[in-house]
Amino acid sequence: MTQNSNFYNRHFLDHISLDCVVFGFHDNQLKVLLIRRKYTKEWALPGGFVKEDESIEVAATRVLQERTGLDDIFLKQFNVFSEPGRANRNPTVTDLVGSVANPDLEWFNQRFISVGFYALVDFSKAEPTPDSISDLCIWKNLNEISSLILDHNQILNKALETLRLQLNYQPLGYNLLPDRFTMPELQKLYETILAKELDRRNFQRRILSYGILNKLEERKTGGAHKAPFLYEFNLENYQKALQNGLNGGW
């Protein structure tokens, strides 16, 4: 590739990009953060490029901080997407470079290998913010997402598959639920991610056996039936379970 003095050649590594699948949970719905390009109106996952002086993990954290306004983000690398033609005919190049005469066009037309990350964030605390080439950054229900650019649907599906596998050996919920929650709310989160119903008694018995929850004295107010008790995560035990794993699966 011919080197020139355009912005991207001077600031970012060639051939490597990252795409982030950001999950949130609200109103018993699993949400995904998406951005919409200004001119082509194509929907995409948040992503970006790696600066010459940063690791790809630092780059992903930077991108997510810019899109959500959050500093403490649960972030995991889950896959590499390297099909030779994955970035061919990118419909949003005109958004990226501004015009076909822009010298950055050649840089964007190179082959890109993308590293996928998924993030779990508190829906109520995130402040979705579009990047400079997008006009919207919003949450969409998982079941409402249709066509995304390039291979972003494949990236999203792989992230969801990885998230479901995580439930078999690691706890999940601290980054997706409010500080205090009920057992039915936690169960609904698991059922939504797994796309299947779970037996209420079995779920409660198993989740309590992990020792990652503290039962509080308060009950949730405002319900029509007997109010369920509130719980919070035992962060010390939760972190241990993240490191050492759980036994069994759902």
pLDDT in tens, 191-239: 999 999 999 999 999 999 999 999 999 988 865 567 889 999 999 999 9
Residue type at 57 in one-letter notation: E
How confident is the model over 22-55, as pLDDT tens digits?
A: 999 999 999 999 999 988 899 999 999 999 999 9
Number of domains in the chain: 2
Categorize the per-residue pLDDT at 98 as very low, low, confident or very high, splitting at 50, 70 and 90: low
Return the CATH number at 147.
3.90.79.10
**What average pLDDT score do residues 126-151 get?**
94
In a shared domain, residues 84 and 195? no
In a shared domain, residues 29 and 138? yes
**Contact 210/160 with Cβ under 8 angstroms?**
no
Structural domain range at position 33: 7-166
**Contact 122/31 with Cβ under 8 angstroms?**
no
Q: Which residues are CB-neighbours of 224 under 8 A, at least 6 positions away?
A: none
pLDDT at 2: 38
End position of a domain, from candidates 106, 139, 166: 166
How confident is the model over 156-168, as pLDDT tens digits?
A: 999 999 999 998 8
> What rounded mean pLDDT belongs to the chain?
88
Higher pLDDT, 144 or 100: 144
In a shared domain, residues 229 and 142? no
**Contact 127/69 with Cβ under 8 angstroms?**
yes
Pairing of the two strands 74-81 and 113-120 = antiparallel
